[in-house]
Chain A
Amino acid sequence: MTYIGSSVKRVEDKRFITGQGRYTDDIVLPQMTYACMVRSPHAHAEIVNVDISHASQMDGVVKIFTGKDTDAAGIGGVPCGWQVDFKNGDTMKEPPHPLLVSDKARHAGDAIAMVIAETYAQAKDAAEMVIVEYNVLPAVTNSKIARADGAPQVHADVPNNLAFDWELGNPREEVDAAIAGAHHVTTLEFINQRVICNAIEPRSAIGHFDTAYDKYTLYTSTQNPHLIRLLMCAFVLGIPEHKVRVVGPDVGGGFGSKIFHYTEEALVIWGSNQIKRPIKWTAERSESFVTDAAGRDHITTAKMAFDKDGNILALSSDTFANMGAYLSTFAPAVPTYLHGTLLQGLYTTPLINVSVDAVFTNTTAVDAYRGAGRPEATYLLERLMDTAALEMGRDPAELRLQNFIAPFDGVEQEGYQTQVALQYDSGNYAPVLKRGLEMVGYEQFRADQKAAESTGKLLGIGFSTYVEACGIAPSAVVGALGARAGLFESAQVQVHPTGKVSVYSGSHSHGQGHETSFAQVVADKMGIPMEDVEIIHGDSDAVAFGMGTYGSRSLAVGGSAIVKSIEKVLEKGAKIAAHLLEASVDDLDYAEGKWTVRGTEKSVAFGDVSLTAYVPHNYPEGLEPGLDFSSFYDPANFTYPFGCHICIVEIDKESGVVKVKRFIAVDDVGNVINPMIVDGQIHGGLAQGIGQAFCEGAVYDESGQLVNGTYMDYVMPRADDLPSFEIDRTVTPCPHNPLGVKGAGEAGCIGATPAVVNAVMDALKGYGIHDVEMPVTSQKVWNIIHGG
């Protein structure tokens, strides 16, 4: 059968297109109450007094909890899951992140009280009547300023707001010396601005304590239910893990922001036991803006040195990474092991040094957002490449081709050892760029560009080639790098007596279509129809364990765990089949759902074997009944997708309006199970990457207010801001996992951003500028053109 590689329509669609998706906020439990958080309007303020006396008396109010209550209950803060220590070996500064703050608010949106009432409207009314007396302090939102002496201190015991500093690569002196002696050096100082993930479903959590069983259930909009359970039980609430069920039902997009363990999850669980009733909390959008972990927010100075022929000699980069007010779950890994380690890019750069200062500020926490560190690395490298090409009078495509690492498949040729710790698994970089050039019609474009000059329009082309790292692993390696969790995945393949199959996966689908693509894998590998396979995920009472979905890992890691379990099922099935056929296991072939004695017509069907496994009357001696296997798969390495993105922009000289005219993406994500789904993942990633380049970006004022914290003020791409995308791929299989897949979830978002900015810079090359700050708004462009 050939499900693998075909664009099977998604089996999960039906419930969504008919309005039957079941998201957390759709769930209603008997006796449920509703919570509204009282949040600090100030970015930095001591809490002098919290008066709940009036609010407590209001209609429908069930209970109000403040930081005093959570302190008295001895509840810990939400933990950080990754430890990156200082260069000198000192331990990372990890100040507590309380569920409700009692001493001071450290960002606008920090929660001070949870008001619980019979309805949400009543909870909200009462929250407005909780009177908090503040002593407002000066705030700092910019990581570079926060790092300097004399800046406001976010946490009393973190000098210079420095959570940790970090360095990787070749010795700095060597790199600096190579840069100093180079023929040409391109330097960029830039801000990779903070963006808000903005999954369209706002975060939501329901806590339910069932007194009959002394058991908690948390329904939450999460990408990784088991991880939330572990963190919440072991580090926050100290409740037994086997007495907690976490369900991530249908989740309306994640993009990273729903990986992390949030305070509200622990609050509704703890609170539900206090009041012995379920509590639902659902964020309003403006609440999401100030509480969902954001992305990016780097201030970077980077230098790339070249010899006279255009060969890259060295790269250095220094970054201030904004952590926000607290360390979110994976935050320390993002600017370090997911960013610094990617600065080899696809180039043979022999000397690289990267250094990062991770800094606290009075802003919402920053953590992984689609791509997590790799978009920042790609932006850094690819802006440098196009700028260098412009400065040296070289063609940007040629300059890249000249510096690409030679092809290696990871089988015949070894993986590529970078200067920054990673070993790439397989790569063949020139074809993606060449295919991109072909698709765009490069020569014709340059002619059109010239011709457009007389029309009041400016055309520009921008390139971006990238390599990224997915399926973060193996556990021992990431553990050595500071991860406090393993990064394997588990899967159970349960064959029912009738030959139908339930697969329990630790990966979580929140738009990725696992119910389809995983079922394709299972059906193909087992030789049965897809209709006979169901993929179950997202419920810790159903799925034994799981690490969840992020870092484009589901198929590479979660899919591989499924394959391992299928192998075990078929191995045992063969023993049963051999018994039934009175043949030796070695003489059997398995294909199209039956075992056949080689060279004969004698066969037994999968369904007969499964039935025998559960009705073992005529059965191999000593073999256990049943046909049901679990596996844990811990990958040998990351996977390394790569690709080439090319953007064409058109700028209207008079208005400065930038239009993305064409966007070409050629990605190599290894083998592809469902091309339709992979294309969809690329499309979505491109839109987010392009969005960062030309419209998105969090803006804070001096007092630490997020001034564009609503959908009216924060600009995200809408349908008429984007073109239809032109996409293609090459296939370089991953050599170290059974499916040969690499991961496609983030690629679009990783490559796209610099391509857009490079295109704008190409269009504006006559204006003598060197860089333009993202987002590249019409106003900025108009100012460049008209000298405003």
Chain B
Amino acid sequence: MKVPVSITVNGKQYDKMVEPRLLLVYFLREELALTGTHIGCDTSSCGACTIHLDGKALKSCTMLAVQANGKSVTTIEGMANGEELHPLQEGFHMEHGLQCGFCTPGMIMCAADMLKNNPNPSEEEIRHGLEGNFCRCTGYHNIVKSIQYAAKKMA
């Protein structure tokens, strides 16, 4: 028993039939092959699946695809403007904010929302803002610097 959904992802509208139990993260990864959004846990704890829903950061494993019906999603694949990287993408590159890269899309999506609400965060605010996202590689040190880089660039 599939149901229709219409979800706009990275500016493009997709009309699909999905199982009502399908999580948004699987919709993105499997229905749309947007595999930049990752799955790191089954308890909504890691943040690897973070996307934007109508402009706000959200863990896409906490929501069903049907709940996103009619809404607009941005994923990591939609962050760059053609060849021009988003300042956060650039920041993560310049400040070595990633190692294995698995947490990175979620980190960038989380940080983008953070900077929208607080364009000039302190280190403490950045660390607090990343509370929902695990990184096992970087010790967060350079992730903080990456976000500071982007904040400066966007100022």
Contacts and interface: CB of A to CB of B under 8 A. Distances in A.
B99 A511 contact: yes
A167 B94 CA distance: 49
Contacts of A285: 40-43, 46
Residue of A21, A25, A676 ringed by the most chain B CB atoms within 10 A:
A21
Given A13-B92, A201-B40, A722 B139 contact: yes
A18 interface: yes
B152 interface: no
Contacts of B77: 18-20
Interface in A427-444: none
B137 A511 contact: yes
B41 A710 contact: yes
A719 B106 CA distance: 14
Interface in A712-745: 712, 716-720, 722, 724-725
A685 B139 CA distance: 7
Contact of B127 (A250, A676, A684, A720): A720
B134 interface: yes
A252 B94 contact: no
Given A17-B85, A718-B131, A253 B100 contact: yes
Contact of A17 (B33, B37, B98, B140): B98
B102 A684 contact: no
B70 interface: no
Contacts of A388: none
A544 interface: no
Interface in B122-154: 123-124, 126-128, 130-131, 133-144
Contacts, number: 184
Contacts of A252: 38, 40, 100-103
B92 A17 contact: yes
Contact of A719 (B19, B100, B108, B133): B133
Given A19-B37, A23-B38, A680-B142, A511 B100 contact: yes
Contact of A18 (B39, B45, B76, B103): B76
Contacts of B35: 19, 22-23, 25-26
A230 B73 CA distance: 44
Given A252-B38, A711-B45, A9 B128 contact: no
A285 B42 CA distance: 6
A714 to B, nearest CB: 9
Contacts of A21: 36, 101-102, 104
Interface residues of B, number: 57
A722 B138 CA distance: 12
A447 B43 CA distance: 45
A20 B38 CA distance: 11
Contact of A716 (B19, B79, B92, B134): B134
Judged by DSSP, the binding face of B is loop
Interface string A400-442: 0000000000000000000000000000000000000000000
Contacts of B105: 16, 19
Interface string B47-79: 010000000000000000000000000011101
B48 A683 contact: no
Contacts of B124: 720
Contacts of A23: 35, 38, 102
A16 B98 contact: yes
A753 interface: no
B96 A10 contact: yes
Nearest to A677: B96
A10 B137 CA distance: 15
A16 B29 CA distance: 16
Given A17-B98, A251-B100, A722 B140 contact: yes
A58 B137 CA distance: 41
A683 B102 contact: no
A250 B104 CA distance: 13
Nearest to A724: B141
A724 B144 contact: yes
Contacts of B98: 13, 16-17
Interface in A223-258: 250-253, 255
Interface of B: 19, 21-22, 29, 33-43, 45-46, 48, 75-77, 79-80, 85, 89, 92-94, 96, 98-105, 108, 123-124, 126-128, 130-131, 133-144
Q: Kindly list the 9 A-B residue pairs having the minimum CB-CB distance in the complex, ordered from nearest.
A: A19-B36, A16-B101, A252-B102, A687-B139, A511-B100, A711-B45, A511-B99, A19-B76, A683-B139
21 contacts: A15-B101, A19-B34, A21-B101, A21-B104, A26-B29, A121-B19, A121-B22, A199-B100, A250-B100, A252-B40, A252-B102, A285-B43, A511-B101, A512-B99, A679-B96, A680-B96, A680-B137, A680-B142, A684-B136, A718-B140, A724-B144
